[in-house]
Structure 1
């Protein structure tokens, strides 16, 4: 895989098929080498680390709530250190606390920058994970993502499918934030009307997101983790199997052709 990036998967995708940790040996057998946990799995970080080690899996990134990152960053850092994480990701702003107008989004961006600087001082990276609402214009024409990422300290975990669902072409955004793309959520969207039982999401490579092109763009933009995700799979094992097959194909396309020795 280009730049020795691990094949990664978000464990949120397995939440409907508990216990989530039972899937780890099967994920490793499929060829995944890294997983991304969420806060629901942090009750016993040492036990989780032991389970990951038994399957020879890493957890280089993890999702942490805005509440924990702001009110108990020491706990977040202890969890991350125990699990061997290098990137802490804030996955969303709760609806009841979500900014509405431009000034509120600017202040929210300042809060994220403060988190980013604190985590960096502890040796960790920080990224914001987007949904579609960050790419919907505000009354003044700006977008929330522009205020979220106004400070260079805030990096991004770009969920490409959510960008596309906002009606935005993800490629210019990936290119525009090159150097600040810490990770990517590799997610796919079913053709219109498809997969209603899975909320319109698709296995990676089976939908309409142009992943062969975007995979290369993401790597060029500096993403060090490309993480498979499906928000509501009806069969997690199927999703994991088909998605790593697709990601292997995308990765193979990005490898440079071997040079021919001069005669």
Structure 2
């Protein structure tokens, strides 16, 4: 694995609101060397100063605001300030739009338009799934597969492996199908039940090694949607587990 392990900062969103510098320092002390913000316009210059001081790279950033009518130019400026070229939409689309071919065509039109705007600003644009893109079947295929065919080829995918499993996908097969288009993986673990909290990676029902082996070149980003224990402790346990896999050559 050539890229360092990263954390989607949404995992620690409540702690970040109280002590951003302290949370980032703890992640760096654990051993993480990259982070993925979720609110790029929230003081990007200040965030970048702290991250640089701690040696934390920004692997990508989520930007739901691109689907919610927020100022795209402001978002793209913030992405540049954060020091990444990868901007990702992780939501903001009504679930029911994924249920039909017409809905998927409308989604693709919107995403392709945003990709054009991002490209004009020197950025690369990606899409992040949840469970419904795999749960809905359109013309005999997962909605995510149909959508991917409608997206401009330069739009990359960030596959949330846990949500894909919750949605009913054969996750290794999904990852192999999309190959190099999968630039990043959200790595998480748990009981594979919607609404139940995540657990530290390696402590749940997810066959983590199989998922990583199916997308060996994708950037690994640990995330917790919810966590029943202290999330920073769980992120530390996740790091130790994934670092052990890398040292042993598994999942690589």
- TM-score, normalized by the shorter chain, greater than 0.5: yes
2:252 maps to 1:254: no
Q: In the alignment, what sits opposite 2:214?
A: 217
Pick the structure with greater CA Rg.
1
- Seen in structure 2, the aligned counterparts of structure 1 residues 154 and 69 have a Cα distance that, compared at 3 Å, is farther
- Aligned residue for 2:225? 231
For structure 1, list consecutive stretches of 5 or more residues without a partner in the other structure: 258-263
Shift of 1:46: 0.8
Structure 1 181/191 Cα, relative in aligned 2: closer, same or farther at 3 Å?
Answer: closer
Specify the alignment match of 1:37 in structure 2. 37
CA distance in 2, matches of 1:121, 1:191: 39
Counterpart secondary structure, 1:178: helix
Tell me the distance in 2 between the aligned counterparts of 1:199 and 1:108. 29
| Structure 1 contact 42–48 (Cα < 8 Å) conserved | no
| Structure 2 match to 1:132 | 131
Tell me what 1:243 maps to. Answer: 238
Cα deviation code 1:80-114 (max 9, x no counterpart): 11110121010113438845422011121122122
Q: 1:201 aligns with which of 177, 187, 198?
A: 198
Contact 2:192 2:206 in 1 (8 A): no
Q: Secondary structure at the match of 1:16?
A: helix
Residue 61 of structure 2 corresponds to 62
How far apart are residue 71 of structure 1 and its match? 5.2
SS of the aligned residue for 1:134 comes to helix
Distance 1:232 1:180, change over 3 A: same
> Residues 211 and 250 of structure 1 are in contact (CA less than 8 Å); yes or no, is this contact kept in structure 2?
no
Q: Is the 8 A contact 2:173 2:214 kept in 1?
A: no
Number of matched residues? Answer: 247
Instruction: Give the 5 Å matches for 1:151-162.
Output: 151=151, 152-162=153-163
Asked if 2 retains the 8 angstrom alpha-carbon contact of 1:13 and 1:229, the reply is yes
Structure-2 separation of matches of 1:45 and 1:136: 35
Question: RMSD of the alignment, in Å?
Answer: 2.5
- Please give the alpha-carbon distance, in whole angstroms, between the structure 2 residues aligned to 1:159 and 1:121: 27
Pair 46,178 (structure 1): closer, same or farther in 2 beyond 3 Å = same
Paired residue for 1:95? 94
Cα distance in 2 for partners of 1:91, 1:175 equals 21
> Given the superposition, is the C-alpha separation of residues 50 and 70 from structure 1 closer, same or farther in structure 2, using an over 3 Å criterion?
same
Cα shift at 1:64: 0.1
- What is the alpha-carbon distance in structure 2 between the residues aligned to residue 35 and residue 189 of structure 1? 21
Aligned to 1:186: 187
